């Protein structure tokens, strides 16, 4: 009879412990255990790029005769670039 009493106390203790663990596990399974969520979005940004271009200038020599000279210059242009960024929601 004494053995049966110890078994009954053991079963009751295990049942209460399991219920306590299950109760706390379901209560804390909210926002605290999940990390932040992200999605990726494609946006267009503009980058500055230097591009060479050539142009022709008429110059005159010491005798007054014209001659053409091709010169190279640089201009800055804006190029659209698609980039993927991470956004948190």
Give the mean pLDDT of the chain. Answer: 83
* pTM of the shown model: 0.43
**Which pLDDT tens digit goes with each residue over 33-69?**
677 888 999 999 999 999 999 999 999 999 999 999 9
83 pLDDT more than 90: yes
Q: Are 80 and 35 in contact (CB under 8 A)?
A: no
The reported pLDDT for the residue numbered 17 is: 75
């Amino acid at each position: 009879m004494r053995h049966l009493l110890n078994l009954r106390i053991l079963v009751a203790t295990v049942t209460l412990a399991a219920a306590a663990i299950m109760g706390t596990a379901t209560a804390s399974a909210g926002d605290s255990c999940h990390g932040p969520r992200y999605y990726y979005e494609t946006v267009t940004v503009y980058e500055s790029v230097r591009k060479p271009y050539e142009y022709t200038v008429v110059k005159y020599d010491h005798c007054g005769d014209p001659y053409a000279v091709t010169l190279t210059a640089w201009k800055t242009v804006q190029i659209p670039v698609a980039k993927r960024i991470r956004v948190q929601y």
